[in-house]
Amino acid sequence: MDERPIRDPYHPQRFPIVIVISGPSGVGKDSVMQALRARHYPFHFVVTATSRSPRPNEVHGVDYFFVSEAEFEAMIREEALLEHALVYGQHKGIPKQQVREALASGKDVVMRLDVQGAATVKRLLPDAVLIFLSAASEEELCARLQARAADTDVQIQQRLETAREELQRLGEFDYVVVNAEGALEQAVDAILAIIQSEHCRVHPRIVQL
């Protein structure tokens, strides 16, 4: 039996939720986040800390917090991260304080994570909403990775193999959204519909950190 409170239909209280957008490398997580921002909904978009160098056009504090290895290790020691992982030789993590402050302000929190990180957040925040983002096919995913021109052929094959493994964890997620080539806005529409439906639940999700 669900022990969460039942929403009052006459005076529905709004509880902020945590939305995790995840999926394999190359499915367009960053593009989806940018498109969500462009819609100007009152979400708090968590900025991930990373030890990797910025790519062209990436802005510190907007796309990521770019920090040194030493700075990232200090954040781990100080337990300042909700979750962190070493992904393809690069550290990535979610600062706890960002999430706490956003939830306290009543804002929904949207974060992008790899599949491993999404599982960690779900363990720590069971009421988080996990959305698995997918390309339309493995061939499309491969083409996107090649178009980025950021990896060698060997690295692309490694990412594809990891993607196959991550697809096996789809059952750990609440929703799946296909981000097909040329259909970014449709994928964003689907994510916004999911968020709206979550706020209409009889038993609201209540996230505590």
**pLDDT of 3 above 80:** no
Average per-residue pLDDT for the chain: 92
Rounded to 10 degrees, the C-alpha dihedral 36/40/43/48 comes to 50
How high is the pLDDT of residue 131? 98
Total Cβ atoms within 10 A of residue 6: 10
Location of structure tokens 């178009």: 147
Domain membership flag for residue 2: no
Split into its structural domains, the chain has a count of 1
Catalytic residue among 4, 14, 148, 164: 148
Domain membership flag for residue 67: yes
Clarify whether 7 is annotated catalytic: no
For residue 9, what are the contacts with CB-CB under 8 A and spacing of at least 6? none
The enclosing domain of 131 has a CATH number of 3.40.50.300
How high is the pLDDT of residue 81? 94
- The partner residues of 93 in beta bridges, in order of sequence, read 49, 84
Clarify whether 159 is annotated catalytic: yes
Domain membership flag for residue 191: yes
Domain membership flag for residue 10: no
**Sign of CA pseudo-dihedral 139, 145, 148, 154:** negative
Domain membership flag for residue 12: no
How high is the pLDDT of residue 2? 64
Instruction: Please give the residue range of the domain that contains residue 81.
Output: 18-198
Clarify whether 4 is annotated catalytic: no
Give 53's pLDDT tier (boundaries 50, 70, 90): confident
Exposed, middle or buried, 129 (CB in 10 Å: 0-12/13-18/19+)? buried
Catalytic residue among 55, 123, 164, 205: 55
Catalytic residue among 100, 159, 169, 201: 159
Q: pLDDT of 106-140, one tens digit each?
A: 999 999 998 988 999 999 999 999 999 999 999 99
For the whole prediction, is pTM greater than 0.85? yes
Q: pLDDT of 11-39, one tens digit each?
A: 888 999 999 999 999 999 989 999 999 99
How high is the pLDDT of residue 188? 98
Q: 71-97 b/e with 16+ CB inside 10 Å = b?
A: ebeebeeeeebbbbbebeeebbbbbbe
> What is the DSSP annotation of 151-166?
S-HHHHHHHHHHHHHH
Alpha-carbon distance 57 to 18, whole Å? 27
How high is the pLDDT of residue 122? 94
Alpha-carbon distance 46 to 20, whole Å? 10
Q: 10-21 b/e with 16+ CB inside 10 Å = b?
A: eeeeebbbbbbb
